[in-house]
Structure 1
């Protein structure tokens, strides 16, 4: 699959200058030479149609004019018409008994694109045998050799790979590219262009799946976002309420391309704002990718201070919800060449990106790296069939890791160049850490009115916050991504209310189905109570386990934030066993919780305790699941100063 690179946010101009200007061309026809020279003026400006017409006229004047065949072959190669380019370049070698170094180089690169790695090595070695003096071209030849040998050494049996274009309902424009999906996979957002050249405007559009799973006609994402300026190459937070996109022309900015942000409240997107000088620079800043909670932003920039030309940079939000200065991901990820199109998977662990600075199967290959203990592992080539001899410059993988999306440049069509494809990711290439998500609505328990609240997700194994989002202030909706491999605590908080918690044990191999959890927050008042769902004890024991510390520290924070309240810790058990034993066990467990909180600096007179045993079940004790719900610790507000 050859992915689109012809877009405002990544424009690569390659000017082939393989034949040095010679004092005299091989042709004896003055007219053919004039046409050749005129064609070259069009070629260097990328005006290939005019150049091709003139070169064909030159060849009609002299059928053995090999320089014209060469130029024509180079142009068709640049256009992606590889088979025709191959035929023309081989014809050059047949016609020209002299120095065929330039043709050997072009064929070596061409065969790399065709996945004919053995032929690529043969022709590049023939080129190098001429001892060429162009150091840049020699370095490129050596890179081609390295990649061809890498491809041979890392050949795999081609996994099942059957990409297919989305319907014409989605692929409705001359160009569509850089697709992204919402976490629930029901919304597809991409950049569309109404023509195949740079002069046409770019906008962001969205296609929604209907109840039958069919993509609907794409529409403008918002009149507040799309404008007479260009909007493209976007990223979306997992809850679908933060959008960051690239704009290069028209808007007031800091560099040649800047990043802009829009927030969704209810069903309305806000007017886009420039992310400002903390994120944007006087250089080229583009191709953003947001983490699931919208608190980490990966993007490409060619600003100073990097490793190579285009590097991946990372900006993070602080506790005040402000973006901090971006940092370069460093030499472990970036190379002295180009990195493009970063994509941080919703698991917030796996970073996909394309680079031409590491050994691969062609020019740009897709690599990935997992972040463990705040460090990025050595990048791994995604390998065939996704990578091949052609350029792969972007890839979107769904949250469950099962499907991939990319855009392909169709060089056979004059009317439609960019097409969005989807495919089933081969099992061997699927993301190591899949994701699910929990979603719901947060309301006031008394008024039933939706609330804006803070939702935090903690990894209980690490006692560490891994995600932070807010519910929508209009409808109370929230979405939080859960990454496979941990036990999680989820906290819902709002000033003036009791916090609530929930627990999710999402170990590797567990079901990845989404979860619905609505929360009714109780205003702080005497008698209000909440269950501490992440307090854990061993069976028949009252000593707190280490995983309980996360929740207990939340209680301490709540007490410090509300110094006027007094609470009672209440212990409950199920009805299994002796009732007196259960009563004593529930009392000792409540004491353990009280002791921990006091040891954290909360004065003891603010915390009482009581054990109820099995006297106050939350639900009937008629199943294992219900009995588990009845084994609980609650705290209740018993006083307000």
Structure 2
């Protein structure tokens, strides 16, 4: 709807230029008014680098000094004030014009513009009243009539929403991040200790006199933030950069970079495809590599911006400017999938449960992968851009957009929502009163009904088991119950560290591989206390030339039986792949039990289980001559009975027995 004011102004100027009949006969007032009509196109606003409507306002106000009942001058002043979002001033002039002559327009358009301005300042009852007058006019413009009905629906919703407010106590994140300049589009790492955001700075040499860069701030407690510093010079340039999205491990960054006035220069060493493009960079240790245009088919000659990367790194949501036949230019939310070759596939717009004919922006896919937050001017809201949430159903379809309600949303613009991995805290940008200036970043406790599935971060280090040197191991996380591949990634090449975000209350299998090493496996249940937000695991990898047994922690058997359970196949297939890639290796499969039960029975059970694993490997094409099965029974426990007896809880004791019940493999030389 923001475009409607400009178009209305154009029509108003054109109609006044054609018609010489005014509501005044004062020649000086008419001369000033006609000068006001032309003024915006004669000079440029020195701040905004747009037509100088301020000069037109000054002349229109002078015309009104000559004749305060000059209706056309009131209407022109109101239109110009709207271009600066000074709606209170516009309302004053509309009301005066209607007071002078309620019927000055045969279409009743002034009632529409007054109602719209009232809606945008939060006077919802006034907006309803004047829109009702407008829609009753037989000569109402069809397009504006549709707008009027939309505004009436929004005003009704706003009145109901304000009558049932949610608990909301936004807290400014403070001067470490916020300044007199606009700050927005925050993104936060899954450990909650690093935040990146966009800041718009005054720059007389830039288009529109403003220039965007992005900044980073760190926190030890997630509440007090250090003074933000700009990202390195190979990322921030004299052009516009911002709206970053960071991968769950904090090592991959996708952000927006825009061209200069020529439409060709995106910054040193960068190539773009048009307007603003998405760029990609990766961190090795502490150094960010030079960004490159996002590979694949996301960027076009249009404007792409505001990316949001899923926790598994496979799905990218972003905003693209669109222009549909018969509609005003706006932006929609698109989605692209990562291809097997590492490029991004053709982007598709989200369905109309998300996108509308109006503006959608500021998209966020939560780490749970099922909850989407975004800003929209098209869905029913309280004015400006409101924040919404949509949830994906079991069939992968996005549900109806739900307004986050009052007072999270107001008559002002709200956008840039960032929800923490736990779902308890949300960050957003707002130009509400009481900030440091313009848009500031705030945080608040998100109402439970609006929260996503709780996720926590899982981190660790991959290293050589013999010398503890870090390794860039490739790791895969699977949901044991469903077999779904949740995450595939690599540890940092310099530090060996990894960090991912995972939904809680699920059981996971972890597999880690690296050339020249035996693969590592583990399983764990991500059931954490409400105040716990992290799960840590170190991953020691054994070199192939070492005869050190490695546990197959994701191989499972039925109780007291040697029958492999189906969920074991994923891990055993990893072992098959390892043996295929290393055809000269021979291995022993070792079966182990705990000390409970009969010694002889345990020995037989362990041998039978080792045999079951060997038979599975043979069925997958591995030569039987390379395989040995050996049952050890309870003779090689990891944790002794004496140590188990010293444990304080039955849960700890059972976990210790479980470590003794295991299947291992080791290299035979």
Q: TM-score, normalised by structure 2?
A: 0.86
Gaps of 5+ in 2: 42-49, 260-264, 645-652
Contact 2:190 2:500 in 1 (8 A): no
SS in 2 for 1:25: coil
- Match of 1:215? 225
- Match of 2:216? 206
1:349-378 Cα offsets, whole Å, 9 max, x none, are 222222334334445433333334561232
- Match of 1:227? 237
The verdict on how the C-alpha distance between 1:16 and 1:92 changes in structure 2, with shifts beyond 3 A counting, is: farther
The verdict on how the C-alpha distance between 1:122 and 1:599 changes in structure 2, with shifts beyond 3 A counting, is: farther
Question: Aligned runs of 1:14-25 on 2, under 5 Å?
Answer: 14-17=5-8, 20=12, 21-22=15-16, 23=19, 24-25=21-22
- Aligned pair partner of 1:403 in 407, 425, 435: 425
The verdict on how the C-alpha distance between 1:120 and 1:198 changes in structure 2, with shifts beyond 3 A counting, is: same
- Aligned pair partner of 2:71 in 66, 71, 90: 66
SS in 2 for 1:310: strand
Contact 1:132 1:138 in 2 (8 A): no
The answer to whether the aligner puts 1:447 opposite 2:467 as a matched pair is: yes
The answer to whether the aligner puts 1:239 opposite 2:249 as a matched pair is: yes
SS in 2 for 1:353: strand
- Match of 1:497? 517
- Match of 1:8? none
1:481-526 Cα offsets, whole Å, 9 max, x none, are 1113532112211121111122232369876520121211111125
Contact 1:455 1:490 in 2 (8 A): yes
Q: How far apart are residue 161 of structure 1 and its match?
A: 0.6
SS in 2 for 1:583: helix
1:158-215 Cα offsets, whole Å, 9 max, x none, are 1111113221232124222211111111112111122298322221111111469521
Question: Aligned runs of 1:205-604 on 2, under 5 Å?
Answer: 205-210=215-220, 213-249=223-259, 250-251=265-266, 252-276=271-295, 278-302=297-321, 309-373=330-394, 375-385=396-406, 386-409=408-431, 416-431=437-452, 433-506=453-526, 512-525=532-545, 527-604=547-624
Whole-angstrom distance in 1 between the partners of 2:409 and 2:223: 29
The verdict on how the C-alpha distance between 1:409 and 1:31 changes in structure 2, with shifts beyond 3 A counting, is: farther
- Aligned pair partner of 1:49 in 37, 50, 54: 54
SS in 1 for 2:426: strand
SS in 2 for 1:302: strand
SS in 2 for 1:271: coil
Q: How far apart are residue 150 of structure 1 and its match?
A: 4.5
Q: TM-score, normalised by structure 1?
A: 0.89
The verdict on how the C-alpha distance between 1:564 and 1:183 changes in structure 2, with shifts beyond 3 A counting, is: same
Q: Identify the range of structure 1 (188-197 vs 391-400) with the bigger mean alpha-carbon deviation.
A: 188-197
1:528-585 Cα offsets, whole Å, 9 max, x none, are 3311122233433333333323222222222222222222221212222222222222
The verdict on how the C-alpha distance between 1:341 and 1:637 changes in structure 2, with shifts beyond 3 A counting, is: same
SS in 2 for 1:240: coil
SS in 2 for 1:375: coil
SS in 2 for 1:207: strand
Whole-angstrom distance in 2 between the partners of 1:428 and 1:175: 30
SS in 2 for 1:428: helix
The verdict on how the C-alpha distance between 1:173 and 1:151 changes in structure 2, with shifts beyond 3 A counting, is: closer
Whole-angstrom distance in 1 between the partners of 2:622 and 2:138: 79
Whole-angstrom distance in 2 between the partners of 1:212 and 1:407: 17
Aligned CA RMSD, in angstroms, stands at 3.0
Whole-angstrom distance in 2 between the partners of 1:374 and 1:566: 45
SS in 2 for 1:27: coil
- Aligned pair partner of 1:185 in 184, 188, 192: 192
Q: How far apart are residue 399 of structure 1 and its match?
A: 0.9
1:620-641 Cα offsets, whole Å, 9 max, x none, are 34122211211211111225xx
Contact 2:127 2:155 in 1 (8 A): yes
Whole-angstrom distance in 2 between the partners of 1:46 and 1:419: 27
Contact 1:584 1:613 in 2 (8 A): yes
Q: How far apart are residue 465 of structure 1 and its match?
A: 1.0
SS in 2 for 1:574: coil
Gaps of 5+ in 1: 6-10
Whole-angstrom distance in 2 between the partners of 1:12 and 1:597: 66
- Match of 1:89? 94
Whole-angstrom distance in 1 between the partners of 2:392 and 2:448: 21
Q: How far apart are residue 246 of structure 1 and its match?
A: 1.1
Q: How far apart are residue 131 of structure 1 and its match?
A: 2.9
Whole-angstrom distance in 1 between the partners of 2:617 and 2:302: 52
The answer to whether the aligner puts 1:33 opposite 2:55 as a matched pair is: no
1:2-55 Cα offsets, whole Å, 9 max, x none, are xxx9xxxxx979515167424223233333333334334456855343333333
Q: Identify the range of structure 1 (97-106 vs 112-121) with the bigger mean alpha-carbon deviation.
A: 112-121
Contact 2:186 2:416 in 1 (8 A): no
The verdict on how the C-alpha distance between 1:194 and 1:155 changes in structure 2, with shifts beyond 3 A counting, is: closer
SS in 2 for 1:228: coil
The verdict on how the C-alpha distance between 1:582 and 1:304 changes in structure 2, with shifts beyond 3 A counting, is: farther
SS in 1 for 2:210: coil
The verdict on how the C-alpha distance between 1:117 and 1:542 changes in structure 2, with shifts beyond 3 A counting, is: farther
Contact 1:164 1:422 in 2 (8 A): yes
The answer to whether the aligner puts 1:627 opposite 2:627 as a matched pair is: no
The verdict on how the C-alpha distance between 1:212 and 1:559 changes in structure 2, with shifts beyond 3 A counting, is: closer
Q: Identify the range of structure 1 (625-634 vs 103-112) with the bigger mean alpha-carbon deviation.
A: 103-112
Whole-angstrom distance in 1 between the partners of 2:81 and 2:337: 44
The verdict on how the C-alpha distance between 1:412 and 1:188 changes in structure 2, with shifts beyond 3 A counting, is: closer
Give the helix-richer structure, 1 or 2: 2
Contact 2:413 2:431 in 1 (8 A): no
Whole-angstrom distance in 2 between the partners of 1:179 and 1:546: 43
Q: How far apart are residue 74 of structure 1 and its match?
A: 4.1
